[in-house]
Structure 1
Amino acid sequence: MRTRYTRLHEAWENEQKHEELQNIPDGFLHEMKNYTTQLNKTSTTTSTLSGSLTQTEKKFANQMFKELTELRLDKIMRSEINGLPLNAQALTPEEQQLHSNIRQLLTGYRQGIEIPAVKPIKQELPPTITKREPPPPPPKVEEKDRELVLVRFLQSLPAI
C-alpha cells in the first residue's frame, strides 16, 4: 500500500508535469489536509533520527500540499479567464463550486462593463531550439577542501 506521502508526491509531480488539470480523487485534498495537520501536530526533535525524518517529511509534505493546491487554483483561474475548456471530471467538488463561482463573477463583470466575451486562445507551440550550449565545466575541488561524510537512508523520501 502506498503511503499518504507517496500519493501526495505523485499528485504534486503529475500536476507539475502537465499543463491541464490532473484527475485526483474527490476526498484527496481533505485527506492530505488532515495528513499535513496531523504531521504539524507531531512533536519532533532533531536530536533523534526518527524526529529528524518526521521533521523533513513535515516540511516537504506541507510544501507539496501548498504548491499542489495553488497550482490547481492557478490552472482553474487561467482556463476561465482565457476561455479555455476545463475537464470537469478532474475537479474536486470544492473546485467545481469554486469554478462555478468564478465563472459567474467573470461573466457578471464582463457584462457590467460591456467587455466582449473572451474567445478561446489557440495555444501555440514554443519554438524549438536546435543548438545547445555545452554545460559549464565542473568546479575544481582541491584535495584539502574535500570532506567525507557517511550518509545512510533509513526511509525513502522523494525530494521536491
Structure 2
Amino acid sequence: MDGIVTYESSSSDDDISKQDTAPTQLLKSSLIKSIDVAPVVEHKDEFLSLVPVDPQSHELIHNPTYEELFAPSFGPVNPFKSEKQLAPKNTLTGYVEEAHVNKFAFENQHRTFMTYGYAADPSVEGGADRRLVGETESMTENEGEVDLNICTYPFFKYSLTYPTNTSIKCL
C-alpha cells in the first residue's frame, strides 16, 4: 500500500525534473573553478613499445637499439657497498671467464706447487720471461725444477744400497 501512496501522477514528474535541474545550474557558476580529478594518462602503446633490457640476462627477446641496450640501469643503489661490490660478477668472489688450459700442464704445475711450494706464474704468457711464484727458498734448492722431472708416479725411482765394509764388519 505504501507504493500506491507514494505514487505520483505524470504531471508531478515534470515538476520534479524541473526542480532537479535547478541546483546543477547553480554549481556551474563561473566563479567556481573546475577541478579535473582524473590525471592525464598516456597511451598504453607508448609504454609497451619500450622494453627494458635486463643487464643480468644473457639473452635478448627483441632487437633493441643502441640507446636501449647501453642505457644506464635504473633503481636504487646501495650506499653501503664499495665499487668492487657493485661491479658485475657471476660468482660470489668475482667474475670468472672460461679459459682453455691444457690438462697436462695444469696437473704438472699443481703437483709442483703441492710438492715444492712454487709453480709457474699463470698470468705470464710463456716466452723467455718465465716467472715462478711461491716459496723462493725451494726454487733455489731445486733450481726451478718441476715435479714431473722428479716423480715418476706410480713407479718411484729407487736406489739399491749395498753394505759398506764397515757395516759388514759389524754384522
Normalised TM-score (structure 1): 0.19
Structure having the higher helix fraction is 1
Greater C-alpha Rg: 2
Normalised TM-score (structure 2): 0.18
Name which structure has the greater RCO, CA cutoff 8 Å, separation 6+: 1
